[in-house]
Each structure stands twice: as C-alpha cells, then as structure tokens.
Amino acid sequence: MIEVLVISKKVVADDICLFELAGLKGAPLPPFSAGAHIDVELPEGITRQYSLCNHPDENHRYQIAVLKDPFSRGGSLAMHKQINEGDRLQISEPRNHFPLAHEAKRSLLFAGGIGITPILCMAERLAHIGANFELHYCTRTPAKTAFIEHIKASEFADQVHFHFDDGNATQKLDAASLLATPDSNTHVYVCGPGGFMEYILNTAKELNWSEKQLHREYFSADPVDNTNDGRFEVKISSTGQIVEIPADKTILEVLEKLDIEISFSCESGVCGTCLTRILEGIPDHRDVFLTEEEQAKNDQFTPCCSRAKSELLILDI
C-alpha cells in the first residue's frame, strides 16, 4: 500500500467531492493509464475503489471524485464526512480493468453521472494524442454535473455533448442514432448507473456491435433475488477440504470464517478483486465484472456474490 496526503477536497457538483492525493514529501506516484482505479482504505476496515480522473501523464497527484450515495454501505459517507484536507490515506497502486483499446481508430465514450470519472481520464488521454473520439455525458441537471466547467474550458470541449434529464427533448441522448452504424474501427466505452449502462450496451448489441468493441465498468451491482438460493459445496484444491455453503451465506463469508484467505473489496461482484479460478463445476455468475464471453467459459468467478449451479465447485485455492 502507498501512503498519500489529501492535499485538497472540494465540491464539484451536488453531492460530489473531488479529492486530490499526493505522495508524502512530494514523492512521485506510480504511473497509471486511462481507465485505472485505486483502492482506498477507509475507517472501520472499509476498502473502496475509485477511478482516477486526472490526466494519466500526471505522476505528482491522483484525483478521485466521490458521489455521496444515499444507499452507501459506508464508503462514500466516510469520504464525504470523515476525510478532509491534510489527512493521510492508504491506497493501492493503480489497476486497470477498463483500458482503452489501442487498436481503435475512433472511440465513442458514454458517461452517466459519476461514471464520468474514468471516462474523463480517457478523454484527456485521447485528446492528448490527437485521437478521434466523442464523449456523451448524461446527468440529471447541470447542478449535478461534475467537471462541467473543466470540460467546457478543455481543448476537447467541442467533442463533448451534454445531456440533461431536465433539459429539452432535442438534447436528450439518442443511443440508437449514435450507434446506428457498427464500425469495426470504433470502440465504445460506458460507465455509470446500471440502468444507463444496460441501455447503451443493449442498444449496441441489438444493432450488431461486436462484444469485443464494447467496454464497460460498473460502479455498483443491481440487487440480486436470493429467495431461491440453495446449499452447495466447494472443495479447496490445495487441501482437499470440502466446505458447505448454506443458502443464506456467500462463499466468501464462509471461507473467511474458516480463515481461508481470498482477497476481496467490493463484496458485490464489481471490482474483480476476489476473482478465483474454477477447476471443476459450474458457477452461477452474479457479477458485473466479467464479460458475457468470460462468464461463458466458467473457468473463473467472483465468490463474493456468485454461487453454484452444480452441487460442487472445486476452487484453485
């Protein structure tokens, strides 16, 4: 982990705070690429992932923007209420599960609400290298639109289109028109609330865009109906131990109580930290981290939320 100093905290839209983090004594921070995120350790043992939103060529600071979620499980509320300028935080090195495709000749970026954070970093990078791209940024109102002034003053301002829920009909997002003609040289990137992302991705799939051209990053997973869950077993390949997973517990919860360690963070199938290889058995995928193609292989899954369709899963741990 890396210790950093919170050098500024400011409100950039309704319920959104921008935090600027720097290395102690001005030490440079590890490099990152557009779409990357960091883990941030918070009080009471909470760890959360936040996308880096500043220019990826900067190594003197990281910037993260945090939405105060009314349904917060503690992370966003801690950032807004407990973390202030001058505080020190423990963070991970940047990781990137949402990278730009270097082979793309054109990029079509879609951001919904706080989903602008990784998308803005992508826009900064694409503008810097003179790439062909277009950004569509959807929010409820201008007051809830983070970075609006920064974007309007940027070198790529004419490549950004704002869409407000409370605006007139002519400026509303029409994904079907934007995606009407699939182009093998264009890649699509989307981040935001689940419903917004599904709208973009489903529209693209209906219009025959290839899965390989569609890139997404979820900030949260939709609630899962667990009423019909049943028991099953997992086998730890390294020891041969067989563990029963009851209907009301996750694999991660059971293994943690048995001191069988699996790294985890979000506990909702978003971040991929707990991704575990499956040696035998069929998982019931409930994450939003793996693509449909990756899930179909059934060779890895997220034990924080996913379960089993077979009676036994043999895990490579």
Domains of the chain with CATH codes? 2-91 (2.40.30.10), 106-218 (3.40.50.80), 232-315 (3.10.20.30)
Residues 6+ apart with CB under 8 A from 71: none
pLDDT at residue 223, rounded to an integer: 62
What is the reported pLDDT for 163?
97
Give the Cα separation of 172 and 174 in Å (integer). Answer: 6
Closest residue by Cα to residue 100 from 213, 254, 237: 213
Do the beta carbons of residue 303 and residue 276 sit within 8 Å?
A: yes
- Residue 223 and residue 211 in contact, taking contact as beta carbons nearer than 8 Å: no
The Cα-based distances of 25 to 8, 29, 314 in angstroms read: 15, 11, 48
Please tell me the pTM assigned to this model.
Answer: 0.81
Confidence band (pLDDT; 50, 70, 90) for 222?
A: low
Q: Retrieve residue 208's tokens.
A: 């025959």
Helices (H), the chain: 75-81, 116-128, 148-152, 175-178, 194-206, 251-257, 292-297
Percent of the chain with pLDDT over 90: 81
pLDDT at residue 72 is higher than 70: no
* pLDDT band, residue 196 (cuts 50/70/90): very high
Give CA–CA dist 311/243, Å, rounded: 12
Q: pLDDT band for position 261 (50/70/90)?
A: confident
* Phi/psi at 144 (5° precision): -100, 15
pLDDT at 280: 96
pLDDT at 93 over 90: yes
pLDDT at 291: 83
- 């489903």: which residue's tokens? 202
Computed over every residue of the chain, the mean pLDDT equals: 93
Which band of pLDDT confidence, cut at 50, 70 and 90, is reported for residue 221? low
Mean pLDDT of 237-256: 94
